[in-house]
Copies of this chain bind each other. A is one copy, B any other.
């Protein structure tokens, strides 16, 4: 079987996303953000299921990474605006390959290449803790693609610093998500199973005190 003709659904491309408004009014904010997102975007290529801990967004057809990028950016930005810029965090898990508990059958070199993600700036400054996991299974050095991705993040113009177990990205929410999605798809061209986690923070009072959110 050649993987080059597989759909995003067959490859197993999707994300889990949760948004956490630090507000008594969190239910209204989340519901408004979900409504704004479904009003603004065409969601026909997506399968969306909301669970107790987070929402699953799977891609059935179309440009997989771009659809996930549009959904995440719109949902987070809408929630931030619906809360009048109260402190908000969001956690995202992006996954390619080995859907659910299925077996992994993709072969390196037979994975469809993804288009590069582009997003318009949101005007929202974000700080994010980013982890990228190439689950290689081929005996190659799994840290190499991570260092390459960090190098590309630095070249993109956003602020990149290293902490234990995560790389901290600072910049416009859209620029941060663009870097993360493109790194994930780039590694996914060679590695059959790639997962990336991102913890995003907007309007944190500690950032405002430190003056380091920009």
Residues of chain A whose beta carbon lies under 8 Å from any beta carbon of chain B: 14-16, 18, 20-24, 26-27, 50-54, 56, 58, 86-87, 89, 91, 93, 95, 98-101, 103-104, 127-129, 131, 133, 135-143, 147, 150, 162-166, 168, 193, 195, 197, 199-201, 204-207, 210, 212-213
A128 touches B201 (CB 8 A): no
A interface majority secondary structure: mixed
Complex contact B103–A143 (CB within 8 A): yes
Given contacts A104-B143, A164-B99, contact A207 B20 (CB under 8 A): no
Interface residue from B23, B52, B86, B143 paired with A212 (Cβ < 8 Å) = B52
Bound-state Cα–Cα, A56 to B147, Å? 21
Within the oligomer, what is the number of copies of this chain? 2
Q: Which of B24, B193, B206, B213 contacts A24 (CB 8 A)?
A: B24
* A200 CB → nearest B CB, Å: 8
CB-nearest residue of chain B to A161 = B51
The answer to whether A89 and B14 touch across the interface, beta carbons within 8 angstroms, is no
Say whether A52 contacts B201, CB under 8 Å: yes
